Amino acid sequence: MKSDLDRLMTERNIDALIIPGTEEPNPYRDYLANGIHAHATVIKKRGSEAVLIANGMELDEAAKSGLKVYNMTDFGLAELMQKYKSDQQAIGREYWRNILTQLDIKGRVAFYGVGDVMGTWKMLKRFERDYADLIEIVEDEDTSIFALARRGKDADEIAKLRDSGERSSKVMTETREWLAGHKANNNVVYKADGKPLTIGDVKHFVRLKLMEYGLEDSGGMIFAQGRDSALPHSRGEEDQPLELGKTLVFDLFPRPIGGGYYHDMTRTWSLGYATPEVEEAHRLVMYAFTQSLESLTVGQRTRELQELVCDIFEERGHPTPKTKPGGSEGYTHSLGHGIGLDVHEAPGISNYSPDDRVFEKGDVITIEPGLYYPDKGWGIRIEDSVYIDESGTAHNLTDCTYDLVIPIQNQN
Amino acid sequence: MKSDLDRLMTERNIDALIIPGTEEPNPYRDYLANGIHAHATVIKKRGSEAVLIANGMELDEAAKSGLKVYNMTDFGLAELMQKYKSDQQAIGREYWRNILTQLDIKGRVAFYGVGDVMGTWKMLKRFERDYADLIEIVEDEDTSIFALARRGKDADEIAKLRDSGERSSKVMTETREWLAGHKANNNVVYKADGKPLTIGDVKHFVRLKLMEYGLEDSGGMIFAQGRDSALPHSRGEEDQPLELGKTLVFDLFPRPIGGGYYHDMTRTWSLGYATPEVEEAHRLVMYAFTQSLESLTVGQRTRELQELVCDIFEERGHPTPKTKPGGSEGYTHSLGHGIGLDVHEAPGISNYSPDDRVFEKGDVITIEPGLYYPDKGWGIRIEDSVYIDESGTAHNLTDCTYDLVIPIQNQN
């Protein structure tokens, strides 16, 4: 939780943290500054509330954070721009020295956020050179203090995650019902206008539904058919008509329009009928899914849950990362991940999760086993997002039938 | 243009460039790898075509780039994961040494892309320590080789930018027409259902229109009224009903759904009527806008165009950044920016643009003068996106009336 940051800063001997005011979507800033739409810099000293530095045009927006907001001119920017004109390096050097001095920032400083790679490197190398008298730049651990703080969702965050889950589930359910209203001819699904129903049509419908529920598909949903559904990161081919008896992997991970907490869920459908092979594999994925949900426990190593699923699959002859890492057949990925202001957050749930990575109260994670056989033309994945409450009980935030087959009538 | 990269790498003594395979939207990867939806790493040695490194699940998607694709396992990743288990630092250290060695990357290497700030810092510090025998990490100039290459749009890019412009213009024009179809009562605009028309309603309409034209509002449009329209970065308040006689600044900067080239345009509207003060200011902004478009010339310092606009405004008594940087009244920002795979690209057009920043053939830029008076409750901005062709002629990619007033009928 946000309130853990001071403790975490103490544990890792971090005196201050800085989130540079980059233009990119920035979950770190969203987290500390309550989702403001401003490219403000965020600075937090250990033991103090975070403060913002914004330009004159963004002061009002920045103030919505409820945090103290400084104008960039408070640190002499206007004078420096007059003094150095287009010498931006000279301006930046004095401007940042003014900030560090006026806000009394010194010691071990850690930089977080999202930004241009070259820009980050140059900025921090300059800090390393120019302010060595004041600060030392921290290399945080691989699981950063933000990853740790953001893992523990508070009541307000859970309410938002639950809300995104309810809305996402409705979109998926209504998409399923809408698909069921179509008819097929010669194994191809058709629209009322006589044209084949394509994956592009489905995605268009989903986007409209998302909008109706105040959500946006910021990451690019997966709706992939047949062989594509066996390539877990294929998004599906827009022009491809839907066909009966092929697997459709529908992975939806929207967030509220304009930003906020994500939901992440996946269903696998087969229109009209499913082949016996796919039906059996779907049952097995469902079994792995329910087994992992049932055994999910606070204090358990996340890796153990992945290994449980690997064992279930391997016993039935499917390759997994446990014995064949990097493979593209069978179960080919990790079991899940935390979810919040990012689609992918801590904790990871993989074969390579370290010993000390255990499930904790306040975790919101996805559980998403799957089986993939590109050469056989089918893939299956089932995914829900789950919250572990204060008592250690897991609550499913996703609510949508797992049924594989969507019955489709034939034309005439 | 992309074909300039080798020359630019030579000029800046860069032997290879690496775009790490981060999860964030990444215009650098989009540019070099033709917009693939994969988190692949991109590596380009000077004089060679770029290559990709993807995980097993993303190979098919990565192959759509048309570039040579390596599997991460080609560099021993599977063996390293077996060997080092959860020691990700050890895995990463050997994995990257394998890449550098097998692909024969040495000398001055520059890193680009978009990524986690702490992640970037840690990764590059490790490179600096672990591979000092092989490489030196470049600090590129503030205008990077990518900024320079991406400035010069080729015919294919211009076609895409033109297409985004046409579609965006239609969305704005149809939004204007839709607004004009509403009626007012007591200076408030109402919907057919008898409820006031809010900014949230307008944004919903715009999002639907965008979707109809295959566009998405990935950055968060501005539709701001009255005082908010004078705060150039306010997005507008969702619940606010539209009122007659108040300025509405509508800044739209969508891109094709799923990624691609942006368009950026702004209109200022006043429903029913405009106050004489706003009418006069709108005429002045239009004058500054047309004057800057007319004087735009290849070889001209971009700063000069900003100064021209500042002079126009200052002569009429409006403060500008030329004499009062950082102010929040009058003209408060820079005149424009390049546009492409990012909303903001090179060149900038500001008072602080250096002497050698001049307009070039192939530039696609926005021109967006404005006047803002928060305390008077109004703001005005006009913005088109413009392409400078091979002959140095400027072509407007935006096509939408500049008219300030949208007539609105009264109810009854």
Which of A81, A89, A117, A339 is most worth mutating to test chain B (most B CB atoms within 10 A of its CB)?
A117
Which chain A residues have a beta carbon less than 8 Å from that of B112?
Answer: 116-118
* Dist CA A362 CA A189 (whole Å): 43
* Dist CA A165 CA A213 (whole Å): 11
* Dist CA B165 CA B255 (whole Å): 9
DSSP one-letter code for A245? T
Whether residue A344 and residue B23 make contact (CB cut-off 8 A), yes or no, is yes
The per-residue pLDDT string of chain A (412 residues; one tens digit each, 9 = 90 and over) reads 999 999 999 999 999 999 999 888 899 999 999 888 889 999 999 999 999 999 887 888 899 999 999 999 999 998 998 899 878 889 999 999 999 999 999 999 999 999 999 999 999 999 999 999 999 999 999 899 999 999 999 999 999 999 999 999 999 999 999 999 999 999 999 999 999 999 999 999 999 999 999 999 988 999 999 999 998 778 999 999 999 999 999 999 999 998 999 999 999 999 999 999 999 999 999 999 999 999 999 999 999 999 999 999 999 999 999 988 778 899 999 999 999 999 999 999 999 888 889 999 999 999 999 999 999 999 999 999 999 998 999 999 999 999 999 999 998 7
First to last CA, chain A: 58
Q: Where are the domains of chain B?
A: 2-148, 152-410
Share in percent of chain A as helix, strand, coil (round to 5): 35, 25, 40
CB proximity A143 to B under 8 Å = no
Q: Give me the pLDDT at residue A124, please.
A: 98
Q: Give me the pLDDT at residue A394, please.
A: 93
In percent, how much of chain B has pLDDT > 70?
100
Q: Give me the pLDDT at residue A395, please.
A: 96
**Rounded to 5°, angle at Cα B164 from B160 and B168:** 170
Cβ within 8 Å of residue A333, ≥6 positions away: A232, A321, A368, A370, B57
pLDDT digits (tens, 9 = 90+) for B166-185: 999 999 999 999 999 999 99
Using pLDDT thresholds of 50, 70 and 90, give the confidence band for residue B129: very high
Scan residues 60-89 of B and list those with Cβ closer than 8 Å to A: 60-61, 71-73, 77-78, 81-82, 85-86, 88-89
Q: Give me the pLDDT at residue A257, please.
A: 93
A71 Cα to chain B: minimum distance (Å): 9
Query: DSSP labels for B278-309?
Result: HHHHHHHHHHHHHHHHHH--TTSBHHHHHHHH
CB proximity B26 to A under 8 Å = no
Say which residue the tokens 């990871």 belong to: A348
Q: Is A271 helix (H, G, I), strand (E, B) or coil?
A: strand
**ipTM, two decimals:** 0.93
What residue type is assigned to position A214 of the chain? G
Whether residue A57 and residue B233 make contact (CB cut-off 8 A), yes or no, is yes
Other C-beta atoms closer than 10 Å to the C-beta of A49 total 10
Res. B326: pLDDT tops 80: no
Q: Give me the pLDDT at residue B233, please.
A: 77
Say which residue the tokens 């306040």 belong to: A362
pLDDT digits (tens, 9 = 90+) for B355-399: 889 999 999 999 999 999 999 999 999 999 999 998 999 999 999
Q: Average pLDDT of chain B?
A: 95
Upper half-sphere CA count for residue B171 (Cβ side, 13 Å): 34
Upper half-sphere CA count for residue B85 (Cβ side, 13 Å): 4
Assess if CATH 3.90.230.10 describes domain A152-410: yes
Q: Give me the pLDDT at residue A327, please.
A: 82
Helix segments in B131-270, DSSP class H: 145-151, 155-180, 199-212
Query: DSSP labels for B354-391?
Result: -TT-B--TT-EEEE--EEEEGGGTEEEE-BEEEEE-TT
Bridge partners of A367? A384
A135 Cα to chain B: minimum distance (Å): 15
Q: Give me the pLDDT at residue B232, please.
A: 79
Whether residue A325 and residue B139 make contact (CB cut-off 8 A), yes or no, is no
Q: Give me the pLDDT at residue A140, please.
A: 97
Res. B198: pLDDT tops 90: yes
Q: Give me the pLDDT at residue A24, please.
A: 85
Upper half-sphere CA count for residue B43 (Cβ side, 13 Å): 21
* Homologous superfamily of domain range A2-148: Creatinase/prolidase N-terminal domain (3.40.350.10)
Range A201-238 burial, b when 16+ CB lie within 10 A, else e: bbbbbbbebbbebbbbbbbebbbbbbbbbbbbbbbbee
Q: Give me the pLDDT at residue A219, please.
A: 86
What residue type is assigned to position B120 of the chain? T
Bridge partners of A44? A17
Q: In this complex, which of A57, A59, A232 lies closest to B57 when CB atoms are compared?
A: A232
Query: DSSP labels for A154-212?
Result: -HHHHHHHHHHHHHHHHHHHHHHHHHHT-EEETTEEE-TTSSBPBHHHHHHHHHHHHHH
Which chain B residues have a beta carbon less than 8 Å from that of A118?
Answer: 110-113, 139-140, 144
Mean pLDDT over B19-47 rounds to: 93
Write out the two tokens for B324. 């009062």
